[in-house]
Amino acid sequence: MELLEFTLRIGAALLAGLFIGIERELRNKNAGLKTNALVALGAAVFVIISLHFEGDKYVDTTRVLGQVVTGIGFIGAGVILHRGTTVRGLTTAATVWCSAAAGCLAAVGQFMELIVLTVVIVFVNVFFGALDHYIDKRLQRDPEHKNED
Q: What is the pLDDT of residues 86-109, one digit of tens each?
A: 778 889 999 999 999 999 999 999
Distances (CA, A) of 5 to 2, 11, 48, 146: 5, 10, 10, 45
pLDDT at 28: 87
Q: What is the pLDDT of residues 19-77, one digit of tens each?
A: 999 989 998 887 889 999 999 999 999 999 999 998 888 888 888 888 898 889 888 88
State the average pLDDT for the chain.
89
Which residue in 101, 85, 112 sits closest to 47, CA to CA? 101
